[in-house]
Amino acid sequence: IPNPIYMDLPMKNFIDNGDTEKIILNVGRLSPQKAQDILIKAFAKTDNNGWKLIIAGEGEDRSKLEGLINELGIQHKIELAGRIKNISDMYSRAKIFAFSSQFEGFPNALIEAMYFGLPCISTDCPTGPSELISNGENGFLVPMNDVDSMADKLGILMNDMDKCKLFGERAQKTVEIFKVKNVIKQWKRIIDECLNTTTQ
pLDDT per residue as tens digits for the range 95-138 = 999 999 999 887 889 999 999 999 999 999 988 899 899 999 99
SS3 114: helix
Mean pLDDT of 143-148: 97
- How high is the pLDDT of residue 106? 79
User: Would the pLDDT of 14 be above 70?
Assistant: no
More confident residue, 28 or 4: 28
Instruction: Round the average pLDDT of the chain to a whole number and report it.
Output: 88
- How high is the pLDDT of residue 1? 61
User: Would the pLDDT of 83 be above 80?
Assistant: yes
Is 42:154 a contact under the CB 8 Å cutoff?
Answer: yes
Stretch among 26-35, 65-74, 126-135, 175-184 having the lowest mean pLDDT:
175-184
Stretch among 28-42, 57-71, 97-111, 173-187 having the lowest mean pLDDT:
173-187
User: Would the pLDDT of 33 be above 70?
Assistant: yes
User: Would the pLDDT of 144 be above 90?
Assistant: yes
- How high is the pLDDT of residue 85? 87
Is 56:66 a contact under the CB 8 Å cutoff?
Answer: no
Q: What is the 3-state secondary structure (H, E, C) of 19-56?
A: CCCCEEEEECCCCCCCCHHHHHHHHHHCCCCCCEEEEE
- How high is the pLDDT of residue 169? 94
User: Would the pLDDT of 171 be above 70?
Assistant: yes
Edge-to-edge strands of the sheet including 23-27?
78-82, 52-56, 23-27, 96-99, 120-123, 140-142
